[in-house]
Structure 1
């Protein structure tokens, strides 16, 4: 049962479910069955956030999240992680909720839970970011994939302050995430690219045009974000995905990189929806199993990093698989 404090936190911190909808955000989206399905993603995030920010104990939160359909459950875990992260950052809030969630039931969704931490970052002052990432024990891909928190921060800013971050194409102030302030803007743009897919309701031509309006040095990371969102969240049919594949042009390796990471996240959570299989085939010409194998054999390990974080070393190796001409491409 929620406490009075929890009810008040939910009232003042949780966005109304309707406020994350495409029409309410003012996005240029025509409502269809496909866009309604895509719109359910931020709504699932809100549900997870509401349950967590009320202060639900872990066992109860886990049980509630289990009631979310498998396709959307990872997004609800994003919201739950966001809520627990904010609770842990509050004075006297303790710092164990997020760690226990990520070491416990959220393990299969670790890629998405990092994104939830990024959503929390968007609502907390920067001085609190120093301790926002919990120290995890025995959790795969930690802290290598924690850059997805910065990705989540970029997604949040583009989605909720679209005019500034998309219309005006503002760039973030660097922050020494993982001791690498020089990479912060790149990870941020990967999240902006994901947001562009949602902002345009999965319209491939519109999303591609939006990427093209950004400065050239930002487009590669934006395209990887588009590839990730279109594969993980869906929203386009076979024809639309073909349009997206062709529109990527010289950035196909970046688009394919996003597809690989989406496949990795879906397979790691042991649920791969039909739209992910379709996107894998159309955007890369490869199956989900083949893309998972690419992600596994290119994974960076401790000691591989030098001038780049391990996260980007892994990304670079994946891109090489598609820029070398060794992979067959979709026509």
Structure 2
């Protein structure tokens, strides 16, 4: 039974359902399938936010969220994490909501980290550290800034997409390697571009091409993640997207691998997930997820480099060099090589943005 306080929290904190509509955001509605896929993601996020806002505990919220259809559940946990992070930042109640949610729903660890980042955009700067306090995994912490970047591009599209704005003083949930923040944010912006483009790969590529070239790799990584996780485009268009990514094809594949692992870990992989992963990477979901888990480092730093970026580089290198294309994926593994001499062959972090 929902308490009166929970009811008040849900009414006062939860965004309106129309915020997820493409027409409301000014994004193109290319066809019914794309529109349904993208608006379902946003609607599920808002639903999850409302559940977490009104629930007494994270465990109670998790029970409710677990009943949501698998295709929508990850987005719902993302929204729930935003709500729990805001509750941690408020002066009322305890400040363990995010950590409790991570404990109750470990299968959704990636989306929870991303959802916490949404709260950074809605909270005053002094409260952001409290919202992020429950994130204790040093490698995954950067996913919060991915969430922040998505929010900014989704809700402030003119500024962050059309004018390619870069935050001069972005929120950073860790004291380790703050110089990496613009890269993590750009990965979130790239993810949002899939929505801004209405799940149209060609339109998304054109949006990326308008950014400074030094930002393209992170943007393509985010695009690959969203195209795989949210869906909305047919396989032949995703295969063309992989070709159009050119020298950043490995980054696009890395984002797709991340999406495969996020859905596989949560046991919510969908037919469109399998289709997208194979179109973009030539791998099955299980193979892509295995690359992600086997490549992941621990800690904040690996040989002086940001562990999260080392993880991404390892995935790109594995994708570019491993002879593990799925049987029947449509092309031999050699076709998966990025079409450039710039191979992702080191664990090093890119030059600063």
Q: TM-score, normalising length from structure 2?
A: 0.87
Q: What is the deviation of 1:92? A: 2.6
Equivalent of 1:146 in 141, 144, 166: 141
What is the CA–CA distance in structure 2 between the aligned matches of 1:217 and 1:330, rounded to whole Å? 22
> Does structure 1 retain, via aligned residues, the 8 Å contact 2:98–2:134?
no
Comparing 181-190 and 121-130, the one that deviates more: 121-130
**Structure 1 partner of 2:23:** 23
**Structure 1 partner of 2:341:** none
CA deviations on 1:10-32 (whole Å, 9 max, x unpaired) are 33322111122101111122341
CA deviations on 1:92-140 (whole Å, 9 max, x unpaired) are 3320222111111x21000000011011111111222223224468xxx
Structure 2: give runs of 5+ residues left out of the alignment.
324-332, 338-353
> Does structure 2 retain, via aligned residues, the 8 Å contact 1:284–1:328?
no
Q: Tell me the SS of whatever aligns to 1:88.
A: helix
**Structure 2 partner of 1:112:** 111
Answering whether residue 29 of structure 2 is matched by residue 34 of structure 1, we say: no
Q: What pairs up with 1:152-171 in 2 under 5 angstroms?
A: 152-171=147-166
What is the CA–CA distance in structure 2 between the aligned matches of 1:325 and 1:162, rounded to whole Å? 38
Answering whether residue 13 of structure 2 is matched by residue 13 of structure 1, we say: yes
Q: Tell me the SS of whatever aligns to 2:302.
A: coil
Q: What is the deviation of 1:158? A: 0.5
> Does structure 1 retain, via aligned residues, the 8 Å contact 2:138–2:300?
no
Comparing 237-246 and 27-36, the one that deviates more: 27-36
Answering whether residue 127 of structure 2 is matched by residue 132 of structure 1, we say: no
CA deviations on 1:73-95 (whole Å, 9 max, x unpaired) are 11101111111111111013320
Q: Tell me the SS of whatever aligns to 2:174.
A: helix
Q: What is the deviation of 1:290? A: 2.1
What is the CA–CA distance in structure 2 between the aligned matches of 1:253 and 1:67, rounded to whole Å? 36
What is the CA–CA distance in structure 2 between the aligned matches of 1:53 and 1:23, rounded to whole Å? 26
**Structure 2 partner of 1:46:** 46
What is the CA–CA distance in structure 2 between the aligned matches of 1:177 and 1:48, rounded to whole Å? 23
Structure-2 change in CA distance of 1:85 and 1:304 (3 Å): closer
Structure-2 change in CA distance of 1:155 and 1:303 (3 Å): closer
Structure-2 change in CA distance of 1:19 and 1:304 (3 Å): closer
What is the CA–CA distance in structure 2 between the aligned matches of 1:322 and 1:33, rounded to whole Å? 29
Q: Tell me the SS of whatever aligns to 2:304.
A: coil
Equivalent of 2:260 in 253, 258, 263: 263
**Structure 2 partner of 1:100:** 100
Q: Tell me the SS of whatever aligns to 2:283.
A: coil
Equivalent of 1:317 in 292, 314, 317: 314
**Structure 1 partner of 2:227:** 230
Q: What is the deviation of 1:295? A: 1.6
**Structure 1 partner of 2:335:** 329
> Does structure 2 retain, via aligned residues, the 8 Å contact 1:103–1:136?
no
**Structure 2 partner of 1:178:** 174
Q: What pairs up with 1:211-290 in 2 under 5 angstroms?
A: 211-290=208-287
RMSD: 2.0
Structure 1: give runs of 5+ residues left out of the alignment.
none
What is the CA–CA distance in structure 1 between the aligned matches of 2:247 and 2:64, rounded to whole Å? 44
What is the CA–CA distance in structure 1 between the aligned matches of 2:198 and 2:218, rounded to whole Å? 20
Divergent runs of 4+, >4 A: 323-327
Comparing 315-324 and 109-118, the one that deviates more: 315-324
